[in-house]
Amino acid sequence: MITRFLLQGMNRSLRLFVLLVLAVGVALPLLNQLMPPGSPFHVPAWLLQLIGKYLSFALLALAVDLVWGFCGILSLGHGAFFALGGYCMGMYLMRQIGSRGVYGNPLLPDFMVFLNYKQLPWFWYGFDNFGFAMLMAVLVPSILAFALGWFAFRSRVTGVYLSIITQAMTFALMLAFFRNDMGLGGNNGMTDFKEILGFSVQADSTRAVLCFASALTLALGLIVSAAIVGSRFGKALTAVRDAESRMRFLGYRVEGYKLFVFVFSAAMAGIAGALYVPQVGIINPSEFSPANSIEAVLWVAVGGRGTLIGPVIGAFIVNFGKTWLTGALPEVWLFALGALFIVVTLLLPKGVVGLWGQIKARSQAKKARAPT
Amino acid sequence: MTDTSMRSTSALLYLSGVTVSFDGFKALNNLSLLVEPGEMRAIIGPNGAGKTTMMDVVTGKTRPDSGEVVFDGRADLTKLDEADIATLGIGRKFQKPTVFENHTVRDNLLLALSGLRNWYRLLLAMPTRAENDRLAEILSIIRMEEQQHMLGARLSHGQKQWLEIGMLLAQDPKLLLVDEPVAGMTDVETETTAQVLREINKTHSVVVVEHDMSFVRALDVKVTVLHEGSMLAEGTLDQVSADQRVVEVYLGR
């Protein structure tokens, strides 16, 4: 039953794409580990880290697309779910430092010693356990999404109002996390991580495994999302997106559909955040900044909303552009981002994936018109 | 409202003293209306007479300020929401055809098919044999077997109207509310639609709101005339069109 559920959404192009993601996730780490550093086939650790980061962004984009592209909920606060997942991972990594911190306190992380904490705050208990921390990385964003969605969807808050609420949520969380007395590192956040599951976070082999884990998680995310979207639930979901009141008059309780997909998507964003933090080595409140959430929406728009492949491609294109431009021409990046927004809205309403479809349709039409 | 008042009527749909006002404007003013089981009723009236507001009240979209709305002698529709009311067995067809544009004809019907509505059960549900048979039956009634894999967006206006009627059949409601079904249709399509509605009326109660007089004549059913939110006259089309007040407000003389 579960296999049937998982397979119902798979079509040929998606199968190929999942294989491609897995191939990248296996090949890059292997080329890093097996090839000697001088070899032209050697993949440097920084590239592994970069691709791993992009893969976690792609998972976040997929989460945004699931609510926006398939259910019409434009969330401008998914960065908050991502950051919460990241903070859960950060708390685990902080507790792994133990007495190797600057102050050498075996229990308290450095920033707590610095702020004169006498004991560990209650919400830090359990985070020394990896399983517990990962469970929290899923649960904390899910619970927040459930609470927000429960009230918003029952009160029939839709469209731009919902977008504003989600945006306000991430902004409020950013302000809260900036405060030192939250007990979560204040504006410095958490960094100087040493080990994850006993392996050094700096080691190439750890980076290789993290890159592979990100690819594997993204592949799983794609498969489960495809199954949801391809089910009868998915058909109802896109129908809610296209004509919500019609669905109500057909007897569907629209709130349940929205709430499930919103919570699922938040959980996925949380997992993406948990994968992101050990690869970049830091988590701080700026991850909650509203601009991050908007950027994630842009990835989806560029790649193609309402498709599963689109957000992954969009996340890679935009972030590659960002990495390259902020290095080559730092002052141009924001202009490029703005221009991209305009170009996509005006010329590519269905994103890059939609462009592919347009080209195919046009060439087919040309073929049909050509004299035989 | 007391239970006895609800049981004292055999009507399928019972509206009594219903008033709805929007910013002081009374869209419905002390409206009372009875629809018997198995009946087909045509509701006519000039623009702003409250026809669509009446539909909104019955389907739970608008809450009346006062009055009783009872379905099937037991359900108080003023306390239920759209999904509950739809599940009770009231279907609604909108003035503008609203089919799901990004779904195929078949999926449109599947979504409308009575039965599963729970999101968690739909995650794992596969169409059953009974459902497939029912879909095939409806597709043949609305004569769209060949278009069943076509997207809703690619259908013509008339085809969309047909599909929507098919969706109502799939929903299998006890009472069907139909809002201006022949708006924008050709004469031939209008004639066929009247036939289809009469066919549907053999197994379902129907309330039709319509402007088109020749269509109402073709339906040949009891007519209720609304004016300024209340009932002005009721009877056969010949009777009401002989009524001097109806002639004044409706025919605009």
What is the least distance, in Å, from the CA of B215 to any CA of chain A? 26
Encoded amino acid at A24, one letter: V
Map residue A250 onto helix, strand or coil.
coil
Q: A-chain residues within 8 Å CB-CB of B111? A: 235-236, 239, 247, 250
Write a three-state SS string for B57-92. Answer: HHHCCCCCCEEEEEECCCEEHHHCCHHHHHHHCEEE
Is A239 part of the contact surface with chain B (CB cutoff 8 Å)? Answer: yes
pTM above the 0.80 mark? yes
- Per-residue confidence of chain A (372 residues) as pLDDT tens digits? 677 777 777 888 899 999 999 999 999 999 999 988 888 889 999 999 999 999 999 999 999 999 999 999 999 999 999 999 999 999 999 999 988 988 989 889 999 999 999 999 999 999 999 999 999 999 999 999 999 999 999 999 999 999 999 999 999 999 999 999 899 999 999 999 999 999 999 999 999 999 999 999 999 999 999 999 999 999 999 999 999 989 999 999 999 999 999 999 999 999 999 999 999 999 999 999 999 999 999 999 999 999 999 999 999 999 999 999 998 888 998 898 889 888 988 888 888 888 887 888 888 877 777 655
Q: Alpha helix locations (H) across A103-155?
A: 110-114, 130-154
DSSP code, position A305: T
Q: Residue for token digits 């709430």? A: A259
CA of B38 vs chain A CAs: smallest distance (Å): 21
Amino acid letter for position A3: T
Per-residue pLDDT, B194: 86
Give the residue from B111, B120, B164 with the most A CB atoms within 10 Å of its CB, the best one to mutate.
B111
pLDDT in tens, B194-230: 888 888 888 899 999 987 888 888 888 999 999 988 9
pLDDT at A77 (0 to 100): 96
User: Is A154 in the B-facing interface, judged by CB distances under 8 Å?
Assistant: no
Contact A251 B83 (CB under 8 A): yes
**Residues of B with CB below 8 A from A250's CB?**
86, 111-112, 167, 171
Q: Do A236 and B111 touch (CB under 8 A)?
A: yes
- CB–CB of B107 and A235 under 8 A? yes
Q: Above 80 in pLDDT, residue B9?
A: no
**For residues A123 and A94, what is the distance between their CA atoms, to the nearest angstrom?**
13
Amino acid letter, A202: Q
Q: Inter-chain contact A243–B100, Cβ cutoff 8 Å?
A: yes
Q: Do B98 and A246 touch (CB under 8 A)?
A: yes
Q: Which residues of B184-200 are buried (b: 16+ CB within 10 A; e: fewer)?
A: ebeeebbebbbebbeeb
Given pLDDT bands bounded at 50, 70 and 90, which one contains residue B4? very low
> What is the residue-wise DSSP string for B124-174?
T----HHHHHHHHHHHHHTT-STTTTSBGGGS-HHHHHHHHHHHHHHH--S
Instruction: Tell me if B119 and A232 make a contact (CB, 8 A cut-off).
Output: no
Closest Cα to residue A65, out of A275, A326, A257, A351?
Answer: A351
Residue A256 sits at the chain B interface (C-beta within 8 Å)? yes
CA distance A137 to A269: 9
- Please tell me which residue of chain A has the smallest CA distance to B101: A242
Supply the pLDDT for residue A54. 97
Q: Which residues of chain A have a CB within 8 Å of the CB of B94?
A: 246
Specify which residues A282 forms β-bridges with.
A191
Residues of B with CB below 8 A from A232's CB? 110, 116, 122-123, 125-127
Please determine, for residue B6, whether its predicted confidence score (pLDDT) is greater than 80.
no
Q: What is the DSSP letter of B38?
A: T
At A298-343, the pLDDT tens digits run 999 999 999 999 999 999 999 999 999 998 888 998 898 889 888 9
First to last CA, chain B: 41
Query: What count of CB pairs under 8 Å joins A to B?
Result: 77
Q: Residue A244: its chain B contacts at CB < 8 A?
A: none
Provide, for chain A, the percentages of residues in helix, strand and coil under a 3-state DSSP scheme, each rounded to the nearest 5: 75, 0, 20
What integer pLDDT is reported at residue B198 of this predicted model? 87
Residues of chain A contacting residue B103, judged by C-beta atoms under 8 Å apart = 235, 238-239, 242
What single DSSP character describes residue B12?
S
Q: Which of A5, A239, A256 sits opposite B111 (nearest CB)?
A: A239
* Contact assignment for B119 to A260 by CB distance below 8 Å: yes
Residues in B touching A247 (Cβ below 8 Å): 111
**Amino acid identity at A111:** F
Q: Is B238 exposed, middle or buried (0-12, 13-18, 19+ CB in 10 A)?
A: exposed
- Classify residue B229 as left (phi > 0), alpha (psi -120 to 50) or beta: left
A248 CB within 8 Å of a chain B CB: yes
Residue A11: per-residue pLDDT: 84
CB A79 within 8 A of CB A296: yes
For residue A41, the tally of other CB atoms under 10 A from its CB is 9
The answer to whether the beta carbons of residues A303 and A310 sit under 8 Å apart is yes
Q: Does A1 touch chain B (CB under 8 A)?
A: yes
